Amino acid sequence: MTVTFSYATRQDLPKIIEIYNQAVPTRISTADTNPVTVEAKKFGLSLIIKRHDHYG
């Protein structure tokens, strides 16, 4: 089996947040107690994207 992945882009962030927020009520995989917003996570994603730009 071959596993393929790609780095997240800014366009992926809304879907990532949607999936993440599904875990919030369970408190199993996150310590967040309230859903997060795309706006709240834009800065963190921008740091990750910059770190991996050289893989482009």
How many structural domains is the chain composed of?
A: 1
Mean of pLDDT values over 28-40:
89
Is residue 49, in this structure, part of any structural domain at all?
Answer: yes
Only one residue has tokens 């780095």, namely: 7
pTM of this prediction? 0.67
Only one residue has tokens 């089996």, namely: 1
The residue segments making up the domain with residue 19 are 10-55
> Helices in the chain by DSSP H: which ranges?
13-23, 38-52
Is residue 18, in this structure, part of any structural domain at all?
Answer: yes
Mean of pLDDT values over 5-22:
87
Categorize the per-residue pLDDT at 50 as very low, low, confident or very high, splitting at 50, 70 and 90.
Answer: low
Is residue 5, in this structure, part of any structural domain at all?
Answer: no
pLDDT value, residue 49: 64
Is residue 14, in this structure, part of any structural domain at all?
Answer: yes
Six-digit token string for 39: 């706006």
Q: 40, 46, 43: which is closest to 17 by C-alpha?
A: 40
pLDDT value, residue 2: 95
In the chain, the percentage of residues whose pLDDT exceeds 70 is 79
Is residue 38, in this structure, part of any structural domain at all?
Answer: yes
